[in-house]
Amino acid sequence: NAGVTQTPKFRVLKTGQSMTLLCAQDMNHEYMYWYRQDPGMGLRLIHYSVGEGTTAKGEVPDGYNVSRLKKQNFLLGLESAAPSQTSVYFCASSYRGGRNTEAFFGQGTRLTVV
Amino acid sequence: TQLLEQSPQFLSIQEGENLTVYCNSSSVFSSLQWYRQEPGEGPVLLVTVVTGGEVKKLKRLTFQFGDARKDSSLHITAAQPGDTGLYLCAGAGNYQLIWGAGTKLIIKP
């Protein structure tokens, strides 16, 4: 039972390069999320999706784009990486939103932009 | 904007001691969740509290939701080195969770 799988686990980018982070879940969840985690700042929501073909901005969306073409996949893109995007990125999914929703997380992607 | 403040941000204590972590907000939440995160891993759900005043126990961990559903606490009795980790609280919004910044807990043997 894989749960939520993120690839890659580690990546180093040069300023200005682009990349895509992949997230796949096998739990048939409707909702998917991308977060970044920085020391002392907890989890900050970048973008989220409440279903296939839908996306919405979170707290810190600038510099990122997302797509959810298939229910099980949620992609996070960085078009022109900046050092400020150095962070640990987590993907999560949940059956739906609301009071009893449990979020399931991937193991994270550690991204360094130099 | 809904905010959740956790305190303390960092706590280092000896094995066997008791501790309490707090999660406070000026907003009312329909539920509040507590997660634990270990290094190199994503957060994992410990408990969800839904009703004002609710108390839930998970072995040596006791979780309480405030009567007004604006705050919560996590109490650990006789802490063990295996309790070491980052503890995060999260309040349920309509489509997303509102996260606290976390409490980093270290239990020394």
Identify the pLDDT of residue B24. 96
Residues of A near B (Cβ–Cβ under 8 Å) read: 4, 31, 33, 40-45, 48, 50, 56, 58, 90, 92, 97-103, 105-108
Mean pLDDT, range A73-100, rounded to an integer: 92
Q: Residues with Cβ < 8 Å from A52, sequence gap 6 or more?
A: A68, A69, A70, A71
Taking a C-beta distance cutoff of 8 angstroms, is the pair A64, A56 a contact? no
pLDDT per residue as tens digits for the range A2-50: 799 999 999 999 999 999 999 999 999 999 999 999 987 789 999 999 9
Q: What is the token pair recorded at B47?
A: 């408990």
Of the candidates A41, A7, A17, the residue with the CA atom closest to the CA atom of residue A112: A17
Whether the predicted pLDDT of B43 surpasses 80: yes
Q: How far apart are CA A36 and CA B46, in angstroms?
A: 21
Identify the pLDDT of residue B2. 62
Mean pLDDT, range A85-93, rounded to an integer: 97
**Which of A101, A102, A104, A110 to mutate to probe the B interface, most B CBs <10 Å?**
A101
Identify the pLDDT of residue B93. 77
Of the candidates A56, A96, A61, the residue with the CA atom closest to the CA atom of residue B92: A96
DSSP summary character for residue B80? -
What average pLDDT is seen over chain B? 94
Identify the pLDDT of residue A42. 85
Whether residue B103 lies within 8 A of chain A, CB to CB, comes out as: no
Q: How far apart are CA A5 and CA A88, in angstroms?
A: 15
Taking a C-beta distance cutoff of 8 angstroms, is the pair A98, A30 a contact? no
Of the candidates B76, B37, B31, the residue with the CA atom closest to the CA atom of residue B57: B76
Strand (E) or helix (H) holding A113 = strand A109-113
**Chain B residue at shortest CA distance from A58:** B96
Whether the predicted pLDDT of B109 surpasses 90: yes
Of residues A40 and B18, more confidently modeled: B18
Q: Residues with Cβ < 8 Å from B86, sequence gap 6 or more?
A: B36, B37, B38, B43, B102, B103, B104, B105
What average pLDDT is seen over chain A? 94
Of residues B97 and B23, more confidently modeled: B23
Identify the pLDDT of residue B38. 93
Identify the pLDDT of residue A2. 76
Mean pLDDT, range B17-44, rounded to an integer: 94
Mean pLDDT, range B77-99, rounded to an integer: 91
DSSP summary character for residue A71? T
Whether the predicted pLDDT of A99 surpasses 80: no
